[in-house]
Structure 1
Amino acid sequence: MDATRLHRGRLIDHIQLVVRDLEASQDFYTAVLAVLEIPVIGTTDGYFWADELVVSSAESPAALGALTGRHHLAFQAKDHATVDAFYRAALAHGGRDNGAPGERRYHPGYYAAFVLDPDGNNIEAVYHGEARRNAPSVVIEF
């Protein structure tokens, strides 16, 4: 993954979470993102980042002293085993169960696990299954 390449047209440019305990969050996110093969690529005294996710303390100048509210972030996983490993890593690093790994009813093949991070954000790892993964892309023309 080239985390330094700017890709125009992506839906999300970046997401910032402002947390109470930066050290606890860094331990949690470093562990779960490693399972998903997403490296933490930078750290400073007030924040760290991985791909387009920035996690900062309330004392960080970018946070303006305010914590962010509760969010739901879903990370893509490459297979069922990665979802399972994500769940185990999250629980071992300060996460709390919010839905054990398993098939969900969203669409056939949707396999996911949900955990609450140290600040109560609902963090998900999802594998969409081979049928969905190999489906042709839909192009909408205007």
Structure 2
Amino acid sequence: METQQLHRGRLIDHLHLVVRDLAASRRFYQAVLAALQVPMGGEGADYFWADELFVSSADSDSAQGRLTGRHHLAFQARDEAMVQAFHKAALAHGGTDNGAPGPRDYHPGYYAAFVLDPDGNNIEAVFHGKARRSAASVQIDF
């Protein structure tokens, strides 16, 4: 796997999910990441990845034969329309509704949607409201 460019900007360096059905997960994550305008980074016979997210089958070397447990993972969205597109894409590609798009009481401006991926992970897209960022992300070139 050859990485030439990454974008980083928050706390997590990467997250690895080990899934039962890699093909089903690939369809789901390709659709929701496309809705969030995050390109796929690469794939192999037993894995795929996009930016900080690495997904593999239990047969991959890094999984050591074990599935990961249930997780809550939140993707950042640029606006409310992107949250809605994420939710629609997730439901059309094997996801289960776990909270329709809408405002949440977590903080003013918090707008999110929740779905369960094919392995039952709680996947969220969130827009934190209008704010100014100093940069979209930190670019790392190798």
Per the TM alignment, residue 123 of structure 1 is displaced from its structure 2 partner at its CA by 0.2
Instruction: Give the letter for the 1:24 counterpart.
Output: A
Instruction: Give the letter for the 2:132 counterpart.
Output: N
For structure 1, which segment, 10-19 or 87-96, has the greater mean C-alpha deviation from structure 2 after superposition? Answer: 10-19
| Alignment CA distance shift 1:37-1:57 (3 Å) | same
Give the count of matched residue pairs.
132
- Distance in 2 separating the partners of 1:63 and 1:113: 29
1:4 matched residue in structure 2: 5
- Distance in 1 separating the partners of 2:127 and 2:7: 25
- Distance in 1 separating the partners of 2:88 and 2:24: 16
Instruction: Give the letter for the 1:97 counterpart.
Output: D
- Distance in 1 separating the partners of 2:114 and 2:7: 29
Q: Residue 62 in 1 paired to residue 47 in 2?
A: no
- Distance in 2 separating the partners of 1:75 and 1:59: 26
Work out the percentage of aligned pairs sharing the same amino acid. 69
- Distance in 2 separating the partners of 1:62 and 1:121: 19
TM-score (norm 2): 0.87
Q: Deviations over 1:39-75 (max 9, x none)?
A: 1110000100000100000011110000000000000
Query: 1:107-118 alignment to 2 at 5 Å?
Result: 107-118=107-118
| Larger RCO (CA under 8 A, 6+ residues apart) | 2
Greater helix share, 1 or 2?
A: 1
Secondary structure, counterpart of 2:18 in structure 1: strand
Larger of the two Rg values belongs to structure: 1
Per the TM alignment, residue 14 of structure 1 is displaced from its structure 2 partner at its CA by 0.9
Q: Residue 16 in 1 paired to residue 16 in 2?
A: yes
| 4+ long deviations beyond 6 Å | none
Structure 1 unaligned regions, length at least 5: 137-142
TM-score (norm 1): 0.87
Per the TM alignment, residue 10 of structure 1 is displaced from its structure 2 partner at its CA by 4.5
Instruction: Give the letter for the 1:4 counterpart.
Output: Q
2:96 matched residue in structure 1: 96
Secondary structure, counterpart of 2:87 in structure 1: helix
* RMSD over equivalenced CA pairs, Å: 1.9
Query: 1:1-142 alignment to 2 at 5 Å?
Result: 4-5=5-6, 10-130=10-130, 133-134=131-132
- Distance in 2 separating the partners of 1:48 and 1:17: 10
Secondary structure, counterpart of 2:100 in structure 1: coil
Indicate conservation of the 8 Å contact 2:6/2:51, yes or no: no
Greater strand share, 1 or 2?
A: 2
Per the TM alignment, residue 135 of structure 1 is displaced from its structure 2 partner at its CA by 7.9
